[in-house]
Amino acid sequence: MRGADVSQPTLFITRTVADFVPPDHPLRALRELIDEALASLDGLFDTLYADLGKASVAPERLMRASLLQVLYTIRSERQLVEQIQYNLLFRWFVGLEMDDRVWHHSTFSKNRERLLDHAVLPQLFAAVLAMARQRNLLSEDHFSIDGTLIDAWASHKSFRRRDDTDDTPGGKERDYHGEQRTNATHVSRTDPEAELMRKSRGQEARLRYGVHHVVENRHHLIVGVATTPAARVGEREAALNLLARLPGEHRKTVGGDKGYDTRGFVASCRALRITPHVAMNDRRRGGSALDARTARHPGYEISQRKRKLIETTFGWLKQYGGLRRPMVRGLARMSATVTLAATAFNLLRMRNLLAGAVG
């Protein structure tokens, strides 16, 4: 018998959004991990809100929604809120039931700015690392370091002279052909903290930020992340700052590419009780900063194999984590975006590692 194409809403619904999420869905294990990390920040959240007044959006829901934005590469808060409205999976992950009203995208953005202003994302990143350490997923001895450049949300035309002499009288745009522009003489009117930088010789220079990571070599988890101006802070300087924050006073090793093979970087690493296992740059004037005593050990070869995996981290963050060209401006907002993406990467790695251990 042919069924009738009649839609009649029911008066009462006895099911919750959790009933529509498959028991083996990957987000279920991820939800458990993020809830554990957010529970450790409960005291911090209490200090950010007043005891009286109108209740705001719960910070836990803001963080879960922000994590969804990274995991599903959603470009804007407007699109994110729209998908939470009709996607039962997203509603369940955020913590909303079917009849809960979804906040306006401007309300979401305004409430999340409070968390960004109080540096909640670095605390969340540290909480996830603490969870990984409790589960014995982190190596405390062997690490890799590298940096990359990400494009700022500013066009090349916004890079104008600091003395405001770009526009000619009459409102006509100045002809830039043949004119040399540098960070010393020009600044972006859209994002003043972005700097002109090129990845290598022969490539075009763009307005960019520098992103630097320290990855542990056992399970490839990010243990340190920093966002810096592209030109003012070099890779080696940022790397040393991150390495100095590693816990423990015991001897460690760090792998890196040929760009870190300088006498200053090698000496600074050894002062931090870190043995540099960087790739030897024999073409460098004066030769490599490393000697045969370091390169002859089997651990050096292992570090050279492991340090190449950090490129997969940058690839995931740019391709899926939204860092190809983030739609944020300013160093603080860019740093928060990078930290959130790194946190999402660690949560995914932990979910996969724990699932493999159970299986």
Q: Give pLDDT tens digits for 265-286.
A: 999 999 999 999 998 887 777 7
Quickly state the pLDDT bin for 165 (edges 50, 70, 90).
Answer: low
Q: What sign for the dihedral angle of Cα 235, 241, 245, 251?
A: positive
Q: Is 166 exposed, middle or buried (0-12, 13-18, 19+ CB in 10 A)?
A: middle
**CB 74, CB 83: distance < 8 Å:** yes
Judge whether residue 359 has pLDDT over 60: no
pLDDT at 202: 73
Quickly state the pLDDT bin for 21 (edges 50, 70, 90).
Answer: very high
> What CATH architecture applies to the domain 139-163+181-326?
2-Layer Sandwich (3.30)
C-alpha 181, offset from chain centre: 30
Mean pLDDT of 126-130: 96
Q: Is 24 exposed, middle or buried (0-12, 13-18, 19+ CB in 10 A)?
A: exposed
Backbone angles phi and psi of 113, in degrees to 5: -60, -35
pLDDT at 170: 57
Judge whether residue 119 has pLDDT over 70: yes
Q: Which residues contact 42 (CB under 8 A, 6 or more apart)?
A: none
pLDDT at 158: 86
pLDDT at 338: 94
Quickly state the pLDDT bin for 288 (edges 50, 70, 90).
Answer: confident
- Closest C-alpha to 209, from 328, 74, 346: 328
Domain spans of the chain, in order of start: 17-44+57-118, 139-163+181-326
Judge whether residue 106 has pLDDT over 70: yes
**CB 98, CB 52: distance < 8 Å:** no
Q: Which residues contact 44 (CB under 8 A, 6 or more apart)?
A: 120, 123
133 or 183, which is more confident?
133
Q: Is 114 exposed, middle or buried (0-12, 13-18, 19+ CB in 10 A)?
A: middle
Across the chain, mean pLDDT equals: 87
Mean pLDDT of 59-78: 92
Mean pLDDT of 23-31: 93
Q: What is the pTM of this model?
A: 0.90
Judge whether residue 178 has pLDDT over 70: no
SS (H, E, C) the chain: CCCCCCCCCCCCCCCCHHHHCCCCCHHHHHHHHHHHHHHCCHHHHHHHCCCCCCCCCCHHHHHHHHHHHHHCCCCCHHHHHHHHHHCHHHHHHHCCCCCCCCCCHHHHHHHHHHHHHCCHHHHHHHHHHHHHHHCCCCCCCEEEEEEEEEECCCCHHHEEECCCCCCCCCCCCCCCCCCCCCCCCEEECCCCCCEEECCCCCCCCEEEEEEEEEEECCCCCEEEEEEEECCCCCHHHHHHHHHHCCCCCCCEEEEECHHHCCHHHHHHHHHCCEEEEECCCCCCCCCCCCCHHHHCCHHHHHHHHHHHHHHHHHHHHHHCCCCCCCCCCCHHHHHHHHHHHHHHHHHHHHHHHHHHHHC
Mean pLDDT of 83-111: 91
- How far is Cα 206 from Cα 151, in angstroms, rounded to an integer? 7
pLDDT at 79: 92
Quickly state the pLDDT bin for 176 (edges 50, 70, 90).
Answer: low
pLDDT at 111: 83
Backbone angles phi and psi of 31, in degrees to 5: -65, -40
Q: Tell me the HSE value of 258 on the side-chain side, using a 13 A CA sphere.
A: 7
Q: What is the pLDDT of residues 51-64, one digit of tens each?
A: 766 777 888 999 99
Judge whether residue 167 has pLDDT over 80: no
Q: What is the pLDDT of residues 311-324, one digit of tens each?
A: 999 999 999 998 98
Q: Which structure tokens are listed for 172? A: 């006509």
pLDDT at 156: 83
